[in-house]
């Protein structure tokens, strides 16, 4: 009960600070991952804080945890579709550990919207202190976000974004997917230098903000190049199997393509398998340019090996941002309505670019995931 009251007050402050700077259009904070700010035990809310006045003493089993500081967090994760997702999940489990003062309830929604919505409703029932949602799709969130708000539980929208009234959730944090798509397009224009392009796109999961953003960003640049033609664009669902399946169907339908844009590394691995099977060469020494997203370790190994020409990063190590928001709310401090996680891009050896870092073994060895 103590925590709930404190959070309610903080929530009010968040709304106040948003209204103060123009009603929620606070410029998003550009930031890179904060130093590990998860609270040391002594930073968690002091157990000796006078508990808020309560109508009745909590039943024995409702007494706050012995240390008084454990913060319960429900996390409804997209699924386990990609290496990026695995790194993101591990990062949350590491950051929201018991040692850091948290009790994490984690649900892997396996890319199923109904499962994800049910997980959030269960978190509300269980009266979590906070709920984090990495939304599979942007649509369909208003009702359950209203339910969480009515229950006084702050919601953090993480990794991806939702098509919902921003006043229904406390903050959104993640990468700028449109910018990632534009980086890919700008790099391609620089690399082609006016040459023609016949482009196939293997999109991410249908309705995901990562898919919508990367597609929009890339198309913003493609629209500037009449010498480019996007032959087709299909969803590979961010998986290797999906990437292979879509690439196999593309190979059956198109014979003159010279660029394949894969909206994540796992789709790129599947596309490479399909092109290998069809005897199609790719990469810096091949006939087909591959652009990928995520810049996971294996994706950057392929980039270092010259198999992927350009790999646009989306940093999965975002849990520290979420912990930072929760710690601020615990202290009744205002939080940013949006935090954009910075990312960069990488290109194969031999390529120099104003938009990307040229891969070397040291760059690969220095990666955190």
Which of 210, 260, 268, 271: binder of ligand GZL (CB under 6 A)? 210
320 binds, among Zn ion, ligand GZL, none (CB under 5 to 8 A by kind): none
Which CB, 228 or 269, lies closer to Zn ion? 228
User: Is the dihedral angle over the CA atoms 4, 7, 9, 14 positive or is it negative?
Assistant: negative
Question: Binding string, 163-182, against ligand GZL, x = CB under 6 A?
Answer: -----------xx-------
Total residues in contact with Zn ion, by rule CB under 5 A? 1
Task: Show the tokens assigned to 317.
Answer: 């190590």
Which of 92, 123, 228, 238: binder of ligand GZL (CB under 6 A)? 238
What H or E segment, with its residue span, contains residue 262? strand 259-262
CB atoms within 10 A of CB 42: 8
Instruction: Find out whether 209 and 353 touch, Cβ atoms under 8 Å.
Output: no
Task: Show the tokens assigned to 176.
Answer: 């700028």
Closest to 92 in 3D by CA, of 133, 120, 148: 133
Q: Least Å distance between CB 176 and ligand GZL? A: 10
Q: Least Å distance between CB 221 and Zn ion? A: 9
Q: Rule CB under 6 A: is residue 315 a binding residue for ligand GZL?
A: no
Instruction: Find out whether 119 and 155 touch, Cβ atoms under 8 Å.
Output: no
Q: Which residue is nearest to Zn ion (CB)?
A: 225
What H or E segment, with its residue span, contains residue 104? strand 102-108
Which CB, 100 or 171, lies closer to ligand GZL? 171
198 binds, among ligand GZL, Zn ion, none (CB under 5 to 8 A by kind): none
Place of tokens 């224009």: 189
Q: Rule CB under 6 A: is residue 132 a binding residue for ligand GZL?
A: no
Part of the chain binding ligand GZL (CB under 6 A), chosen from 61-69, 81-89, 146-154, 224-232: 81-89
Q: Rule CB under 6 A: is residue 330 a binding residue for ligand GZL?
A: no
Which CB, 2 or 225, lies closer to Zn ion? 225
Q: Rule CB under 6 A: is residue 338 a binding residue for ligand GZL?
A: no
CA dist., res. 288 & res. 309, Å (int): 9
Q: Rule CB under 5 A: is residue 225 a binding residue for Zn ion?
A: yes
CB atoms within 10 A of CB 100: 19
225 binds, among Zn ion, ligand GZL, none (CB under 5 to 8 A by kind): Zn ion
Residue 218 has phi, psi (to 5 degrees) of -65, -40
User: Is the dihedral angle over the CA atoms 133, 139, 141, 142 positive or is it negative?
Assistant: positive
Part of the chain binding ligand GZL (CB under 6 A), chosen from 9-17, 76-84, 149-157, 357-365: 76-84
Residue 125 CA neighbour count, 13 Å, CB half: 6
The length of the chain is 369
Instruction: Kindly list the residues in this chain that would bind Zn ion in the complex (CB under 5 A).
Output: 225
Instruction: Kindly list the residues in this chain that would bind ligand GZL in the complex (CB under 6 A).
Output: 81-82, 84-85, 159-160, 174-175, 210, 238, 264, 293-294, 314
């Amino acid at each position: 009960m103590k925590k709930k009251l404190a959070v309610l007050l903080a929530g009010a402050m968040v709304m106040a600070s948003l209204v103060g700077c123009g009603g929620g259009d606070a410029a998003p904070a550009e930031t890179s991952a904060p130093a590990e700010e998860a609270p040391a035990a002594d930073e968690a809310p002091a157990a000796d804080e006078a508990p808020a006045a309560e109508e009745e003493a909590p039943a024995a089993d409702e007494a706050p945890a012995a240390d008084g500081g454990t913060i319960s967090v429900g996390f409804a994760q997209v699924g386990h579709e990609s290496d990026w997702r695995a790194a993101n999940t591990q990062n949350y489990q590491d950051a929201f550990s018991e040692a850091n003062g948290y009790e994490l309830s984690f649900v892997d929604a396996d890319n199923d919207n109904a499962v994800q919505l049910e997980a959030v409703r269960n978190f509300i029932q269980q009266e979590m202190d906070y709920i984090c949602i990495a939304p599979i799709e942007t649509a369909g969130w208003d009702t359950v976000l209203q339910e969480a708000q009515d229950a006084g539980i702050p919601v953090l929208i993480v990794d991806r974004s939702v098509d919902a009234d921003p006043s229904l959730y406390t903050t959104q944090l993640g990468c700028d997917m449109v910018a990632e798509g534009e980086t890919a397009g700008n790099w391609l224009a620089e690399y082609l230098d006016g040459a023609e392009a016949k482009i196939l796109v293997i999109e991410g999961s249908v309705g995901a903000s990562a898919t919508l953003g990367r597609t929009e960003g890339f198309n913003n640049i493609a629209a500037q190049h009449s010498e480019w033609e996007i032959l087709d664009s299909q969803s590979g669902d961010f998986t290797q199997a999906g990437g292979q399946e879509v690439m196999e169907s593309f190979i059956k339908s198109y014979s003159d393509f010279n660029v394949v844009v894969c909206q994540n590394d796992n789709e790129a691995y599947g596309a490479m398998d399909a092109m290998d099977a069809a005897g199609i060469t790719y990469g810096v020494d091949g006939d087909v340019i591959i652009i990928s997203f995520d810049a996971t370790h294996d994706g950057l190994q392929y980039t270092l090996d010259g198999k992927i020409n350009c790999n646009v990063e989306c940093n999965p190590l975002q849990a520290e941002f979420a912990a930072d928001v929760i710690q601020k709310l615990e202290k009744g401090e205002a939080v940013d309505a949006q935090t954009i996680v910075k990312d960069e891009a990488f290109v194969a050896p031999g390529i120099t670019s104003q938009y990307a870092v040229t891969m070397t073994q040291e760059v690969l060895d220095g990666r955190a995931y």
